[in-house]
Amino acid sequence: MPTLNRTVVDGYLDWATHRARLAESTIEQYTGVLSKYLDWLGDRDISDVMFTDVEDFGGRDRGYSAAAATVKKDIIIVRQLHTWAAERDYPIRRVDTATSPKVNQRSPKPIDDDVWMRIWNCDLDYDDRMWLGIGYFFGLRRIEIVTIRPDQVDLDRGEMRFKRKGGSTQPIEYRAMLEIVAEELPHLCPEPDKFLADFAELVRFRHDDEFLYPDARGVVSSDCARLNKRIIRYVCPRAGVSPDDITPHRLRHSCATNMFRAGIEPAFIMDALSHSDISTTMKYMKTSGQLSRWRGRHEGIKTS
């Protein structure tokens, strides 16, 4: 690997960490993408890269079908790297004209109750149950699920605290979030105390390098793509549901929607999910058209 390649990437990540002070989860994401970029470049010098090469990187063979949003993310991160380097007089071209796929900005779509209950009630592996529950009940982003550390969890207070996307350090009151939803929508989590106890066990007895979900070889990695693979290869077949019905990000959408259904104020939901603007949270209110269906299916459960 050419020395310049590593120098530029290390310099950019150091700047993003200590000067721009991006969230840990963002740094983790950038590190993962840029590590793949270095591997993809191989012996090629980064100074020779043109915008078409960046497009090729985004469209590379990954061994799975990448979503348009994933491809776009990779291209944006590499474009930012090149812009940063060019502005600091490294012999590197800007690649601003590298195009990325158009991503449809659809309204948030929660997981249907029937789908969730089929998943939650099937024979899940312990680690699958934990990360699915963390996303569904606590509203963590995919990158946050795979980068959270035990020392960021206060079991006594029932809170998580770490720097989130956008710089928020608002504590996540995960215990209260789960208990309110479990009380108002008990069919979604029939044994909340058991899940909280299992989560506490995960925090107490796993070291930082064991906290994440290991792959088939027993290797721990924070690669977000693994969560998608777990859903497709293990979770959906066991539950008998389609991979189209559940994604890691739909877990987060479900958390927001369920808190709204349980009667929690939008301002609290905005803080709990670290939305940068209340308008983002209000998108979840568009699910109100589904409330009559939920109400009829689960008579007696509060939905407004």
Burial bucket for residue 227 (CB in 10 Å: 0-12, 13-18, 19+): buried
Identify the band that residue 296 occupies on the pLDDT scale cut at 50, 70 and 90: very low
Res 221: pLDDT:
52
- Answer for the pair 133, 157: CB distance below 8 angstroms, yes or no: no
Q: Is the pLDDT of residue 80 over 90?
A: yes
* CATH number assigned to the domain covering 3-87: 1.10.150.130
Most confident of 110-124, 138-152, 164-178, 225-239: 110-124
Identify the band that residue 286 occupies on the pLDDT scale cut at 50, 70 and 90: low
> 214 — phi, psi (to 5°)?
-75, 150
- Cβ-Cβ contacts under 8 Å for 41 (sequence gap 6 or more): 1, 5, 49
What CA–CA distance (Å, rounded) separates 90 from 161?
A: 37
Query: Among 220, 227, 33, 249, which Cα is nearest to 140's?
Result: 249
Would you list the domain boundaries of the chain?
3-87, 113-289
What CA–CA distance (Å, rounded) separates 262 from 188?
A: 12
Q: How many CB atoms lie within 10 A of CB 89?
A: 7
Tokens of 19: 């000067």
- Cβ-Cβ contacts under 8 Å for 225 (sequence gap 6 or more): 62, 64, 70
**Packing angle, helices 174-184 and 126-138, rounded to 10:** 90
What CA–CA distance (Å, rounded) separates 79 from 226?
A: 25
CATH 1.20.1540.10 is the classification of domain 113-289: no
Res 40: pLDDT:
95
| pTM for this predicted structure | 0.66
Res 133: pLDDT:
94
pLDDT digits (tens, 9 = 90+) for 26-40: 888 899 899 999 999
CA 19 vs. chain centroid, Å, equals 24
- What is the overall mean pLDDT for the chain? 83
Burial bucket for residue 97 (CB in 10 Å: 0-12, 13-18, 19+): exposed
Res 25: pLDDT:
74
- Cβ-Cβ contacts under 8 Å for 155 (sequence gap 6 or more): 200, 203, 204
Count of residues in the chain: 304
pLDDT digits (tens, 9 = 90+) for 187-201: 999 899 999 999 999
SS3 label, residue 74: helix
